[in-house]
Chain A
Amino acid sequence: MAERVFITGVGMITAIGDDVAGNLHSLRSQHSGLGYTEYIDTIYRQVLPVAEVKHPSESLFALAGVPVKDGYTRTTLLGLIAMQEALQNAGIEGVQSAPTGFINASTVGGMCDTEKVYFDIIDPGKNGTFLQYIDTLDCADCTQRIADIVGFSEHIATISTACSSSANALMFGARMIRQGMLPRMVCGGTEALTRFTLNGFNSLKNVDKQFCRPFDQQRTGLNLGEGAAYLVLESESFAKANNSRILAELSGYCNTNEAFHPTSPSPDGDGAYEAMKTALAMSGRSLEQVEYINVHGTATLNNDVSEGKALERLFGDKVPLFSSTKPFTGHTLAAAGAIEAIYSILAIQHGLIFPNLNFSEKMEELSITPVTQLLEGYPVNNVISNSFGFGGNNASLVISKYEG
């Protein structure tokens, strides 16, 4: 019997807060992080809303506690800030205190900074400190810079499965624990806004010019966001021996592929259905025991139909309360799974159901609607958190209240 996996520390930074407490405060006060970019050089600056972390990169160095230095991308800095909070929250003074692995997630690595100097990098006539950004072109750069500062040396990996990346990082870390490979893992993802990604999604006509409206009949697309989030996972035996403070249990998870289309989900949500169903079965919880679903809910035309259909197929006429928190944070791509896993823990800890902002009209394809008002004092024991991505990569996590 494989060991249970507990969450013993969380850390994050998003457009709605520089730490977990800041995020919780914004969620409670229904304060969205959507606005217009201060830091990306794009013709869409005043046109396409984004949820940007409200600090220039120079200020992020201070928040991350490292001296200003070339070669540290915004992706790395956001990750480092979230990482340090997660370790502190778990009471870890040095990661060398016990064998600890690090599983990171990223979709475009340091593109946020390399896209600014790329044409200098490929120009033989130009020379300068920008050459220090060459290594930041890939996804491993941010992982290794964070690992080197914090001191991870046991096992490191970076996952990239588009929008489900950090959900898969959590899953991979949990599996390593259950296989007895390491007793403690830190898993999550980091994502900085880039002109590259903004234009990518815009070229797919998937970006809303208004603030995104998940599960609304009038929705026309997503808004991008940025941020980072990490969760400390520990095996049950390690957590008990270490006297760790247990925040929640990662009780189930599933990764499936839809094998339907490179960028679109199947209309009936086959992948979403399978991911949720299998993750819930693994958790040993019944359909009735799920009080809240933090949906992927990107507000693209296809995602919300597909995910909504999957909810109706799985839960019938008893679909639990659900909401998308993307109108708060934007779609943070590789970081989304980990950010929303932390929101799921906050829902359990504080008895909260977060509202799905900007909703006004039920979708004609569905009979269900998301929660639109903040609910406080609502007992939440089990949450499903969904992350679905390009390439048909679907992931669902089940996060449960810790009970002895």
Chain B
Amino acid sequence: MKGKCYIQGTAAISPQPTFEGDIFQAPLVHTDSNLLACIEPDYKPFIPGNSLRRMTRTLKMGLTAALKCIQDSGISTPGPIITGTGKGSLQDTEKFIKEIVEYKETALNPTPFIQSTYNSVNGLIALQQKCTAYNNTFVHRGFSFENALLDSIMMIQEGASHTLTGAFEEITKEHFYIKSRIGCWKSAPVNSQEVYQHLSPGTIAGEGAAFFTLTGAATPESYAAISGFRMLYKPSEEKLATALRNFSEGADLIICGRNGDSNHEHYYDVLDACFPGVPQLPFKHLCGEYDTAGAFGLWLGAQILKAQQLPASWFPMQDQLTAPVHSILFYNHFFGEQHVMLQLERV
């Protein structure tokens, strides 16, 4: 990756109280249901009531997180809008599949079809912001948000002053059941706080929306710099180890996607072996596992680098920071297939 880009603004809707208030004082939300659902904010300050009624959950979460991010960045000039989502609006997809059968293909309401389109959130953000700039949506499991990030970094290299870059995902009850049939989730309920201690096949499900305003230049308000980025598709353990070693030197802290899934834990063991002694913060007990959980991890890293402290209730297993954190290595993978490394630096 050439050059750096900077996180100038961010917002997240997640299973934790991340949307408003001081996250460093926030309690830890946990569940025994193997499904961490988002704490949804009051959408009314962001979306007019008549639009709100038509919109389904993913659209509301995605649009609201995007708008809050724009507020947070202080940059209101519209620029490129680039997002990632693995599944789009599941609720709308499920509804339209069922209505086709229920109404025998006649007199169907087109709204769920329109909203099931993966780029519908992007279109809404553009519409809301009257933004005619570049607009793209990536839909590739654990590379969805990451390709959006790559596209954004390229946009900045090509001369864009900033991008709005984000990800959104929902988990429905129906999709949770579907994925349970192929062993994605743990078969017995576990306390989400203790997911790392329950090493067994499967993990816990999650969801969330996180957005970032990325810029080519730093300001005193920047959260963090993204200075390194690599994606690896289905690497061998050897290839992963080589890539990790070549990628990062001297990180003060590691944020990793560990999730208690014994089927794919061995990749995190590779990480441990590459960087012994570097403190690690796993984050899936906060947000659960989903295609674009990497965006939540990046949000967390950015918050820690800017504030130079940890949200204490979220990491009872970790002592508070004693020395400044200058550099964070982020590593995550999605069910062993899409592997992502990011290098974050303090501005």
Q: Using a CB–CB distance below 8 Å, which chain A residues touch chain B?
A: 42-44, 106-107, 109, 115, 118-119, 121-122, 124, 131, 134-135, 137-140, 143-144, 147-148, 152-162, 168, 172, 175-176, 179-180, 195-196, 199-200, 202-204, 255-263, 270-271, 274, 389-393
Contacts and interface: CB of A to CB of B under 8 A. Distances in A.
A393 B234 CA distance: 31
Given A115-B97, A118-B97, A134-B181, A140 B157 contact: no
Contact of A131 (B114, B139, B182): B182
Main secondary structure of the interface of B (DSSP, over half): mixed
A261 B133 contact: no
A205 to B, nearest CB: 8
Given A147-B233, A153-B233, A257 B135 contact: yes
B117 A270 contact: no
Given A270-B132, A393-B123, A122 B110 contact: no
Contacts of A124: 177
Interface stretch (B101-109, B195-203, B247-255): B101-109
A365 to B, nearest CB: 23
A179 B2 contact: yes
Interface in B74-122: 81, 86-88, 96-97, 100-101, 104-106, 108-110, 113-114, 116-120, 122
B246 to A, nearest CB: 16
A244 B42 CA distance: 57
B127 A259 contact: yes
Contacts of B187: none
A255 B110 CA distance: 26
The binding surface of chain A is classed by DSSP as mixed
B119 A162 contact: yes
B6 interface: no
B200 to A, nearest CB: 21
Contacts of A202: 105, 108
Given A176-B154, A195-B100, A260-B127, A391 B178 contact: no
Contact of B139 (A158, A172, A195, A257): A158
25 contacts: A42-B105, A43-B106, A122-B174, A122-B177, A131-B182, A138-B139, A147-B233, A153-B234, A154-B233, A157-B143, A158-B139, A159-B136, A160-B139, A161-B119, A161-B135, A179-B157, A180-B2, A200-B110, A255-B134, A256-B133, A257-B81, A257-B122, A257-B132, A390-B119, A391-B120
A256 B135 contact: yes
A138 B86 contact: yes
Contacts of A199: 96, 100, 105, 108, 113
B141 interface: yes
- Chain A CB count within 10 A is highest, among B132, B141, B157, B158, for B132
Contacts of B139: 106, 109, 138-140, 158-160
